[in-house]
Amino acid sequence: MDLLALFHKGGLVMYPILLASIIAVAIGVNRYLCYKGAVANIELLKERLPELLRHNRLEEAKVICEEAGGVAGKIIKEAIDERTEDLNANDVAESIAMHEVFQLKKYLNYLETIVTLSPLLGLLGTVVGMIGSFSVLSIESGEPFAITGGVGEALIATATGLLVAILALVIHTYLAQRVNVLIADIEYVTSIYVINTNAGNRYEA
């Protein structure tokens, strides 16, 4: 059966379900590209940063952060730029890291909403369709099978809503895993920065 015909038979609720699917895919593409660019060379930061920070060779440390790239390198570079005697290294790094983590998690809550909302929209479309189907019995006497086709058409909305929810759930699960890996890298590199910066301060003192 033609997909466009099926879409129209699903009722008006198919339009918000279609919109939800487009939003889910758009968020998936947006976040994938964001996370791809957020990956840093953690091994480079691990090998080079500790010595540079302990000896307060901050300009060289910033160069290494730029070479490593990604969100972890960006956080450490910004922490070095904002470093002052009055600010605790841990507080500076933590505040910058929290902001970046928030940016990484942006839009993921919309996917969670779509996972929950899409089946409900489909169920709503089915209920509305079945109400119309049952009304056939009181209008078209002599057609006992008229309700069967109506129920079948009404179930299209539920099936579509479930498909969109499954799609959004798969996208959300994949993106959430990518975020967790990036957050782990951020926490690891931030701890390197704090420990070695404090060690450098004690060395100077």
Flag whether pLDDT at 203 surpasses 80. Answer: no
CA distances from 186 to 31, 55, 96, 175 (A): 17, 22, 10, 16
pLDDT tens-place string over residues 65-123: 999 999 999 999 999 888 766 667 788 888 899 999 999 999 999 999 999 999 999 99
Top pLDDT among 116 and 195 is at 116
Flag whether pLDDT at 173 surpasses 50. Answer: yes
For residue 149, what pLDDT is reported? 57
How far apart, in whole angstroms, are the C-alpha atoms of residue 199 and residue 54? 6
pTM: 0.84
How far is the first Cα of the chain from the last one, in angstroms, to the nearest whole number? Answer: 79
Confidence band of 147 (pLDDT split at 50, 70, 90): low
SS3 per residue for 44-87: HHHHHHHHHHHCCCHHHHHHHHHHHCHHHHHHHHHHHHCCCCCC
Flag whether pLDDT at 137 surpasses 60. Answer: no
For residue 104, what pLDDT is reported? 94
If you average pLDDT over every residue of the chain, what do you get? 86
For residue 66, what pLDDT is reported? 93
Counted domains in the chain: 1
For residue 32, what pLDDT is reported? 95
At 205 the three-state DSSP class reads: coil
**Beta carbons within 8 Å of 14's beta carbon, 6+ residues apart:** 7, 8, 125, 156, 157, 160
Q: How many helices (H) and strands (E) does the chain have?
A: 8, 0
pLDDT tens-place string over residues 42-57: 999 999 999 998 888 8
DSSP string for residues in 4-34: HHHHHHT-TTHHHHHHHHHHHHHHHHHHHHH
Flag whether pLDDT at 28 surpasses 70. Answer: yes
* Domain range enclosing 42: 3-204
How is residue 200 written in tokens? 């450098």
